[in-house]
Amino acid sequence: MVIRRFPWIRQSLVIWHKELRIEFRTRFAYSTLLMFAVTTLITISFSVGGFVPDSDITAALLWIILFFSAMAGLGRTFVQEEEKKTITALKMAVAPEPVFLGKYFFNVTLLCSLTVLVVPLFLVLLNQSVPLWAPFLTTVFLGALGLAGASTIIAAIVAKTEAKSAMMTILAFPVLVPLLLATINATRICLAGAPGTAPTTELLLLLFYNGAVVTASLLLFEYIWNE
């Protein structure tokens, strides 16, 4: 019923399904994300050895890994359409907004599946306990959503530039600073687990950040897509 009334949703799901199907066959983006995350994680775990870093450092390390993994793997969504010249066929068939949403859903799927693997591994390798599980999982989920949202719109901009791989991190960092500060702080609170504390402000900030990124992206995407 909802899908029939909002064709964007149906079209976005068709694009999301196509992205998953191609990714399942090539495994390009997921391999990049996973390899980057796992190698960085193992390097960190070797460097700290048996030492258990405090929650400030652990929180920062977790989001550094997720940020750079996202930059390495999520930027390809639009670049591939440009490089393989499939963008014209897509532009001729569908409005810009469902394309953004479909790619966003795909990036969310990739990043969420990465966090499902990497976060437990991270906690085990760094010998870290999580006293506040529910807020911690909410932080990771909202952080992954925000990373995926900002990465998707920036990937669309980067696909139009010459130095694609370098531009992704450069353009994404200022956009992602509020998200990273909020997620690191929320993660730190969850890992420290002081009695009576909860990262309520940070979680609200993440919620609004996600809403703002998706709304702004939907408004701006048509101009980027038709450039």
Partner 1 sequence: MLTQVKVHNLTKAYRHRLLFRNLSFIIPDQSVFVLLGRNGAGKTTFLRILCGLVPASAGQVEITVDGKILMPQEKRTHLGLVAPDLELYGELSAVENLEFFAGVRGIPFSLTKARDLLDFVGLRGRGHDLVHTYSSGMKQRLKYAYALLHEPKILVLDEPTTNLDEDGVQLVDSIIERQRRRGIVIMATNEPREVSYGDQTLSLDTAESGNLA
The 65-94 contact track toward partner 1, x by CB under 8 A, reads -------------------xxx-xxxxxxx
d(CA 158, CA 164): 5
CB nearer to partner 1: give 13 or 57. 13
For partner 1, how many residues bind (rule: CB under 8 A)?
24
What are the start-end ranges of the H helices in 27-54? 28-48
Question: Near partner 1 by CB under 8 A, which window of 16-24, 136-144, 167-175, 181-189?
Answer: 16-24
Note whether 207 and 89 are within 8 A (CB): no
Q: Which residue's entry shows tokens 């990937």?
A: 155
Q: How far is CA 36 from CA 43, 67, 69, 157, in A?
A: 11, 11, 6, 23
Residue 27 interacting with partner 1 (CB under 8 A): no
Residue 5 interacting with partner 1 (CB under 8 A): no
- The radius of gyration of the chain's CA atoms, rounded to the nearest angstrom, is 18
d(CA 154, CA 148): 10
CB nearer to partner 1: give 15 or 41. 15
Note whether 77 and 150 are within 8 A (CB): no
Residue 31 interacting with partner 1 (CB under 8 A): no
Residue 172 interacting with partner 1 (CB under 8 A): no
Q: Which residues bind partner 1 (CB under 8 A)?
A: 7, 10-11, 14-15, 17-18, 21-22, 25-26, 84-86, 88-95, 98, 226
